[in-house]
Structure 1
Amino acid sequence: MSKECPDCHGRGYKVVSTEICPQCKGKGKSKSIDFMKMSEKNLDSFLKNGAACEKCKGTGSIEVTTPCKTCKGLGKIYTCKICGERIENPQDPDEEICESCAHSQYVYALDESCDLKDVEAGKLYHGIVSSKASFGVFVDLNPHVRGLMHSSNVGIPPEVGEAVIVLVKSIKAGGKLDLIPKTLKKYETIELEKELPLKSSAEIDSSMKGKLLRIEGEVIQVKQTSGPTIFTISDEGGFVPCAAFESAGKRSYPHIDAGMIVSITGEVTLRDDQVQIEVMSMKLLTGEKEAVVKSRVERVIDEKAAPADIPFLIKSEIMEKLKPRMLHVAKEIKKAILHSTPIILRHHADADGITSAIAIERAILPLITEIGGTDAEYYFYKRAPSKAPFYELADVTRDISFALEDLSRHGQKMPLVILVDNGSTEEDVPSMRQAGVYGIDMLVIDHHHPDEIVDQYLIGHVNPAHVGGDFGVTAGMLCAEVARMINPDISDTIKHLPAVSAVGDRSEAPEAERYISLVSDRYTIEELKEMALALDYEQFWLKFSSGKGLIDDILDLGDHDTHKKLVSLLCEQANTMIQEQLETCLFNVKSQKLSNGTIMNVIDVENYAQKFTFPPPGKTSGEVHDVLTKRYPDKPVVTIGYGPDFAVIRSKGVLMNIPKIVRELREEMKGAGVSGGGHLVVGSIKFVEGMRTEVLSKLAEKIASTDVEY
């Protein structure tokens, strides 16, 4: 602010003394004059009064002055309009701001949620030049607020797209802003947001349609449509889709991706009867703000992810010992769902693996839908069978490829991979290491004999061998109980799955008998076996497809009449094909008695069994083994079905450790390329074709040196 200097009365100087005018010698009259330059009026005055001295203006004297020390010759005293302090040497008197306040001069950046009501005259704002006209320059303070810098206030017009600082001189009728450009060397930017209530997604419903609000959370998905960009935001309450429109098909907020913490302001709308936020503003949160939101969301999610610590369906000492591990795995799965992390559920393609996966699937799908909406299953869940009882490189390659495509197309996070009825052995390690490169977390629920090496790649591992149990406690039993911890509401729906798993994997553990007895009022033992056979048969034809719907009907999770008809038909077809296979194979079985009393039976399934049809080599070997154990009821029996580069082993009464045998063969037979594994007494071995005779001979030697139960 400025006012007239009291010492010089606004003149900027003080009179020290007066002197006689040196030009007119005190007479006040000019000695000479040019009549040719004089106007008629001045000529009349001259004739009457004479000519006044130009130097002293006719007074005959002149003043001797000195600049006013008070105002420094300016005639005014300037004080800072912010703090009121005197400005001694203003660089720009029009600014009327002292140097100290210039450091903290505020320039406001209008958030996209702001409108004209949030603008005040007399304040400085950041803007972008949007267009130019003959009468001035239009400046956008944000996409909704525009003003005009009149040409009379603009020196060199800025270019379209150029960032400028403007002073809002006035707000005229109709909301027109009169702007003045300002050049500031020092200032502080303040981001101005509309004051809106902060809501969690759980608090937003259809009754709030049309209301403006603010949410904070993590971006879990970015999906570009032909119109807006859809950002799915996860917070402590769940999730909410937010639509941001730049132009048709153009990516909005391209700097914001999945995994980032953001603050969004917008209007509640409804799309297909679902709540959606029309985005007015989206800001990336960093530093302390990001940490606060993350901590708040994580704390609530951790509480919500707590699994149900409920009694098991049956009594089991092994599972009681495993309970802490099972609760941990259940919590990790629930946390993934609450974080909207995609889930890939991998399972062995047999009855045990399928029932294991379906139990988990039935538990998590309602939660995924609840958190992510009706179409969330499509984006956040995938179930896929694995032909081998371990995580093959072909499987992990497909999973990583699909995950990267989803990351690119939908902005999704990398998935959580859940391996059931596989994942415990050294054979899984190469795939696990590949998954680790992309930061993919993995969980395992399995009953194959575990190798300690896999645990470093997992965030959770449930296996009965960890607490002194064995493969008799099937993956289907473990997964059903974990599923109930995740979602107790599905207990009655899935309680028959462990029994199907038990008969399908031929478990002789006491837990098998208890689970079978648990559902004896609903299914006979024969009906359970038929379900297991139908699963094996149908999955053979499904190959790598999950068979959703078909598998549900086989397991009586849909229409009961359809279930009975389908299982009956599938078992009829399967048994016919098994019988045909047996008629061929049994004729070509070669048997011999080993030194430990074991009856060893071998069958070349490559040359003496139907190929590319049901039952496959593993199932064929198992069916042959069942017939031969009945033929030799009181003797230990081993059946080996072999091909060019593999052997499938089934045994009864022989105390083998197949994973150990595989390790020994690999060490002892360099160049044979031995790999494989499985349960202690049931498994498979791979080798190079040229070493088949040597590997099978060595395998027979090891079986002959194994203890037997008879």
Structure 2
Amino acid sequence: MSKECTDCHGRGYEVISTEVCPLCKGKGKSKSVDFMKISETEIDSLLKTGAVCEKCKGKGTIEVTRSCEACEGLGKIYTCKVCGERIHDPQDADEEICSSCSRSQHVYALDESCDLKDVEAGKLYHGIVSSIASFGVFVDLNPHVRGLMHSSNVEVQPAVRDAVIVLVKSIKAGGKLDLIPQTLTKYETIEVEKELILKSSSEIDTSMKGRLVRIEGEVIQVKQTSGPTIFTIGDEGGFIPCAAFESAGKRSYPLIDAGMIVSITGEVTPRDEQVQIEVMSMKLLTGEKEAAVKSRVEKVIEEKATPADIPFLIESDIMEKLKPRMLHVAKEIKKAILHSTPIILRHHADADGITSAIAIERAILPLIRDIGGADAEYYFYKRAPSKAPFYELADITRDISFALEDCARHGQKMPLVILVDNGSTEEDVPAMRQAQVYGIDMIVVDHHHPDDIVDQYLIGHANPAHAGGDFGVTAGMLCAEVARMINPSISDTIKHLPAVSALGDRSEAPEAERYISLVSDRYTREELKDMALALDYEQFWLRFSSGKGIVDDILDLGDHKIHQNLVSLLCEQANTMIQEQLEICLFNVKSQNLSNGTIMNVIDVENYAQKFTFPPPGKTSGEVHDVLTKRNPGKPVVTLGYGPDFAVIRSKGLLLNIPRIVRELREEVKGAGVNGGGHLVVGSIKFVEGMRTEVLSKLTEKIAATEVEY
């Protein structure tokens, strides 16, 4: 662009003064003439008027000038038509582009959200050839903006889908763009977005139907439907679905996946009494923009994930000391929900493990539904029992397999695994190491005696041993309180679960009696014991199934009449089978007195107990132990139920440390492959079948050397 210099009026110089012409000495006439260089007409004029001085043109004076400083001698003020900066170089002035822009011109790329209002005449744009006609070439600047390069301006015919750079010469009536192709070797691309105020998902509602909005956040889930691709976006306000359509069933924005930070522009559309955004443009954010969005979202999530620091249902010095760890566990679980991280809840397949899991389940499912919708629990939550009191390799293998399938099918993140009533011991480490390979976070709430080695694989770990307690504070007690920290509104619903847990795990801790007393107005001790027995019995037949619905009815979380009838029936069946098993086993129990005064009872449950039915070997040994303990009041009693390659230990009145005994046996009985664990005085041991005699003999020696309580 240019305009006439006002200082020199377009001449390019300023007159300083005038002086006498040095050639004609002020006369204006030339002293000599070269007749060979003038025409006949000029000769006639010369004869009439005389020869005019060539220097002053007959004036006798000449002007003394200097170059105009304002326009630098150009006569005009030139500015760059690209950047608007002043042009000083005469060569650049010819093309009205400064040297900087001539080296790297700006070429604009229209975002998909832009329309004709965002296009300016005189600017360069990226485009794609969409079609070719006899009169010119049509070029799309984005899916909504098209222009024409007239054939008179096209020297080299492009092909459809070719990328081109065009100059918008003019915008004609009706929004028609007149384009001129440009060939540039150096240029800088500038992204053009629709100028919109950034919105939070919480600010978008049905009243904004049809409005264009922009949001920034994390891709939580990608779900391909038979129509559009649904991207669930999480920001500081919550979550909102965004529908992008390329063609029916085809994945839109295939390079955008869960966990990425994006900017989305689209139209607000009501759907099923909620809103979603019909995506016009989606861009991956990186660098400083990505970090800023992450920081903004994470700050809000940290605040929302803060658990409720409420009083416990009962008084407990152990839990008060453990409270910081419990609050941390609750916060990590809430953060996972707010990030829409899938949750796998693993629990030991007994009454304590089941009540632990159901307490957590009741707390988190309403939150998962609030964030992800009514069907979110089917995508973001799974509960599964573990047969062993630790996280087995079979468990982690199934969990990783399902997680990878969900990741591929639904674009989900890898899950958070919550282990309750298991997860604290060295036996859990092999599975935890596999989880670590896939970046799976893990949390443990357990009361089995913990090994320090597991903590390196966990983001949260609450165990009464961390506060000087023992297994008497059950996992069900801890999980009920953690559940209340996550969602206080479910307190009344689950407050009987710790009592069921305590009776199911035969806890003798003071906390057990307090939880039982807490719900004595609703349930008798026998009713609570029956719930625990019904859980053990039903889970035996459920195997690896969660038993959703049936478990809820057993725990009186549904129809109360069904609960009463179901528990009564299950306990009748369970007690009948237990009695039949006891009649067989008690007849075959062998007892001996050990050197420390302990009565040791052994039963070969492989050969002298019914197999593949209820009660299983562990519970069979426990039932036999209860009977023999009652027969020997005030005496230390150990019951050992063994099979070809395992032994189950139940004890009363001894200061056993079964995890330590397992480690010692592993070292002392070479070639036996000893492993196992459990609580300090209740546990199980595995070994190779051929070394059974050596292992059981050494185990008996260690029990005989154990200090007794009475």
Relative to the length of structure 2, the TM-score reads 0.89
Letter in 2 for 1:537: Y
Match of 1:408 in 2: 408
Match of 1:634 in 2: 634
Structure 1 residue 272 displacement after superposition: 2.6
1:77–1:568: structure 2 CA closer, same or farther, 3 Å change rule?
Answer: closer
Superposed CA deviations along residues 541-589 of structure 1, whole A, max 9, x for unmatched, are 1111111111111100111111111111111111111111112211211
Letter in 2 for 1:198: L
Letter in 2 for 1:168: V
Letter in 2 for 1:502: A
Work out whether residues 80 and 86 of structure 1, in 8 Å CA contact, stay in contact via their aligned partners in 2: no
Superposed CA deviations along residues 492-525 of structure 1, whole A, max 9, x for unmatched, are 0000000000000000000000000000000000
Structure 1 residue 19 displacement after superposition: 9.4
Match of 2:245 in 1: 245
Letter in 1 for 2:109: A
Q: Distance in 2 between matches of 1:96 and 1:173?
A: 27
Structure 1 residue 450 displacement after superposition: 0.5
Superposed CA deviations along residues 279-318 of structure 1, whole A, max 9, x for unmatched, are 1111111111111111111111111111111100000000
Superposed CA deviations along residues 131-164 of structure 1, whole A, max 9, x for unmatched, are 2222211111111111111111111022222222
- Which deviates the most, 463-472 or 200-209? 200-209
Q: Select the residue among 67, 84, 87 that pairs with 1:85.
A: 87
Match of 2:474 in 1: 474
Superposition pairs for residues 222-261 of structure 1, below 5 Å?
222-261=222-261
1:509–1:6: structure 2 CA closer, same or farther, 3 Å change rule?
Answer: closer
Does residue 588 in structure 1 map to residue 599 in structure 2? no
SS in 2 for 1:89: helix
Match of 2:54 in 1: none
Superposition pairs for residues 3-42 of structure 1, below 5 Å?
none
Does residue 301 in structure 1 map to residue 301 in structure 2? yes
1:20–1:179: structure 2 CA closer, same or farther, 3 Å change rule?
Answer: farther
Q: Distance in 2 between matches of 1:77 and 1:477?
A: 84
Q: Distance in 1 between matches of 2:673 and 2:36?
A: 120
Q: Distance in 2 between matches of 1:101 and 1:140?
A: 25
Does residue 331 in structure 1 map to residue 362 in structure 2? no
Does residue 611 in structure 1 map to residue 611 in structure 2? yes
- Which deviates the most, 192-201 or 513-522? 192-201
Work out whether residues 199 and 213 of structure 2, in 8 Å CA contact, stay in contact via their aligned partners in 1: yes
- Which deviates the most, 82-91 or 128-137? 82-91
Structure 2 unaligned spans of 5+: 13-32, 42-66
Superposed CA deviations along residues 304-341 of structure 1, whole A, max 9, x for unmatched, are 11111110000000000001111111111111111111
Structure 1 residue 405 displacement after superposition: 1.2
Work out whether residues 87 and 97 of structure 1, in 8 Å CA contact, stay in contact via their aligned partners in 2: no
Structure 1 residue 705 displacement after superposition: 0.9
Match of 2:463 in 1: 463
Name the Cα RMSD after superposition.
2.6
Match of 2:491 in 1: 491
Superposition pairs for residues 537-556 of structure 1, below 5 Å?
537-556=537-556
Superposed CA deviations along residues 27-58 of structure 1, whole A, max 9, x for unmatched, are 89xxxxxxxxxxxxxxxxxxxxxxxxxxxxxx
Structure 1 residue 7 displacement after superposition: 7.7
1:652–1:96: structure 2 CA closer, same or farther, 3 Å change rule?
Answer: same
Q: Distance in 1 between matches of 2:455 and 2:267?
A: 47
Work out whether residues 103 and 188 of structure 1, in 8 Å CA contact, stay in contact via their aligned partners in 2: no
SS in 1 for 2:447: coil
Match of 2:369 in 1: 369
Identity of aligned pairs, percent?
86
Structure 1 residue 6 displacement after superposition: 7.2
Letter in 2 for 1:144: H
Q: Distance in 1 between matches of 2:480 and 2:77?
A: 86
Superposition pairs for residues 108-507 of structure 1, below 5 Å?
108-507=108-507
Match of 1:14 in 2: none
Does residue 514 in structure 1 map to residue 514 in structure 2? yes
Q: Distance in 1 between matches of 2:152 and 2:296?
A: 53
1:83–1:199: structure 2 CA closer, same or farther, 3 Å change rule?
Answer: closer
Superposed CA deviations along residues 215-238 of structure 1, whole A, max 9, x for unmatched, are 111011111112111111111111
- Which deviates the most, 470-479 or 234-243? 234-243
Match of 1:653 in 2: 653
1:19–1:368: structure 2 CA closer, same or farther, 3 Å change rule?
Answer: farther
Match of 2:17 in 1: none
Q: Distance in 2 between matches of 1:589 and 1:618?
A: 15
1:20–1:226: structure 2 CA closer, same or farther, 3 Å change rule?
Answer: farther
Work out whether residues 326 and 482 of structure 1, in 8 Å CA contact, stay in contact via their aligned partners in 2: yes
SS in 1 for 2:91: coil
Structure 1 residue 165 displacement after superposition: 1.4
- Which deviates the most, 273-282 or 359-368? 273-282
Work out whether residues 301 and 335 of structure 1, in 8 Å CA contact, stay in contact via their aligned partners in 2: yes
Work out whether residues 78 and 86 of structure 2, in 8 Å CA contact, stay in contact via their aligned partners in 1: no
SS in 2 for 1:398: helix
Q: Distance in 2 between matches of 1:236 and 1:472?
A: 42
Letter in 2 for 1:544: F
SS in 1 for 2:156: coil
Structure 1 residue 86 displacement after superposition: 4.6
Letter in 2 for 1:606: E
Q: Distance in 2 between matches of 1:104 and 1:496?
A: 73
Letter in 1 for 2:560: H
Superposed CA deviations along residues 235-265 of structure 1, whole A, max 9, x for unmatched, are 1111111111111111111111111111111
SS in 2 for 1:264: strand
- Which deviates the most, 639-648 or 130-139? 130-139
SS in 1 for 2:654: coil
Q: Distance in 1 between matches of 2:579 and 2:35?
A: 141
Match of 1:691 in 2: 691
Letter in 2 for 1:88: P
SS in 1 for 2:297: helix
- Which deviates the most, 494-503 or 604-613? 604-613
Q: Distance in 2 between matches of 1:117 and 1:486?
A: 50
Q: Distance in 1 between matches of 2:654 and 2:11?
A: 117
- Which deviates the most, 166-175 or 648-657? 166-175
The size of the alignment, in residue pairs, is 661
Letter in 2 for 1:432: M
Work out whether residues 83 and 101 of structure 1, in 8 Å CA contact, stay in contact via their aligned partners in 2: no
- Which deviates the most, 155-164 or 616-625? 155-164
1:152–1:639: structure 2 CA closer, same or farther, 3 Å change rule?
Answer: same
Match of 1:700 in 2: 700
Structure 1 residue 98 displacement after superposition: 2.3
Work out whether residues 673 and 688 of structure 1, in 8 Å CA contact, stay in contact via their aligned partners in 2: yes
1:175–1:597: structure 2 CA closer, same or farther, 3 Å change rule?
Answer: same
Which runs of at least 4 in structure 1 moved beyond 6 Å after TM superposition?
2-8, 18-22, 25-28, 74-79
SS in 2 for 1:189: strand
Q: Distance in 2 between matches of 1:538 and 1:154?
A: 80
